[in-house]
Amino acid sequence: MKNILIVTGGSGGHVVPSTSFFEHLKNKFSVSLVSDLRGSKFININKFKYELIDVPNLFLKPYLLPINIFKYFLNIFKSISFIKKNNTNILISTGGYMTFPFCLAAFILKKKIFLFEPNNVLGRSNRFALKFSTKIICYNENLKNFPKKYNSKKVVVEPILKKEIYDLGKNSIDLKKETKKILIIGGSQGASFFDENITDLIIEISKKRKIEVIQQISNNNNLAQIKSKYDKSNISYKFIEFTNDIYELYNGIDLAITRGGASTLSELSFLNIPFVSIPLPSAKDNHQFHNSEYYHKKNCCWLINQSKFEKDKFAKMFLEIFNNYQNYSEKIKNLEKINKNNTWNNINNKIIEIIDEN
């Protein structure tokens, strides 16, 4: 039996797919999971056992660069030791700087390396590891910043989702429902912009349309203020934190307001939940915009530039979404179309095929 090590860390965008890979591979292979301290908070410890190996961010604090460089190289040796100890045959990296020492260690030990890139822009860590990887698993044949000389390493698959997402089934949306249920989710990095601006937008919309809100709050210091605003406006609300189990809240959602994280967009898309994407402007290589643009070009979502956000202007847009059911329904039909081949069994067979063939 092959021993597979999945390495992940950092944001939920890296960690969530790693647990999905684990679920797909665990019945056929011996699978282990490693994360850093930041990523560990997105792992459900009741479902997944993992090893914690923290890797410093070399450039987060420039004055600590010499110490961090030493720690980084130390982590390469730790990674070599870990791979040897666990008799690892195959490494799967879901990206992020913490995975690179393991990729180097696997390369030194001549192990097979599979990279995973869920975004429509090749991540920087994956870019460095690409030259000595076996394959890179991705969602888009036309990845931006991808060196053409490595095109043969690309394997395109449907979005890899958690088993629980498939178990939910497609969302059943009642277009005639009087109260519209809106999900506001900023992703694992949170969205302070949403706390203020989207909250005010919801209040503006509620003046003309009855709505119910499920909202992720980025900063708990804003909680009391947002609660007070909603209470005064008689808005039904529920506040949440981002977790790997956020899928439990998808049922009955009529519209989502989100950033441009690949995992969240894939989940909303699969469940036929129309969404408004407001990509994080500071995301590396503008990857959130390109993730959202993919769906926007297929007429599956609405796309808003944060720098051009105007509350009154976009309140009219949101009201039009619920008033113009033809446009809304077209989004749902297009979401259904792009996800028609995405089933748990199809993805499971594809992933196992990729591992076995290489």
pLDDT, tens only, 49-84: 888 887 766 556 666 666 767 677 788 888 999 999
- Look up residue 153 and give its DSSP letter: G
Burial class (CB in 10 A: 0-12, 13-18, 19+), 324: exposed
Alpha carbon distance 197, 95 (integer Å): 31
Q: What is the mean pLDDT of residues 12-41?
A: 90
pLDDT in tens, 79-137: 999 999 999 999 999 987 788 889 999 999 999 999 999 999 999 889 999 999 999 99
30 vs 323, higher pLDDT:
30
- List the domains of the chain with CATH numbers: 3-161+342-357 (3.40.50.2000), 166-338 (3.40.50.2000)
pLDDT, tens digit, for every residue of 248-265?
788 889 999 999 999 999
Residues 6+ apart with CB under 8 A from 209: 180, 319, 322
pLDDT (tens digit, 9 = 90+) per residue, 216-240? 887 778 888 899 999 999 999 999 8
What pLDDT, on a 0 to 100 scale, did the predictor assign at position 13? 81
pLDDT of residue 62: 66
For residue 324, what pLDDT is reported?
79
- The 3-class secondary structure across 174-211, one letter per residue, is CCCCCCEEEEEECCCCCCHHHHHHHHHHHHHHHCCCCE
Closest to 318 measured CA to CA, from 354, 264, 274: 274
One-letter amino acid at 19 equals T
Residue 342 one-letter amino acid: N
Between the alpha carbon of residue 282 and those of residues 94, 189, 193, 197, 259, the distances in Å are 21, 11, 12, 17, 12
- Cβ pair 38, 10 in contact under 8 A: yes
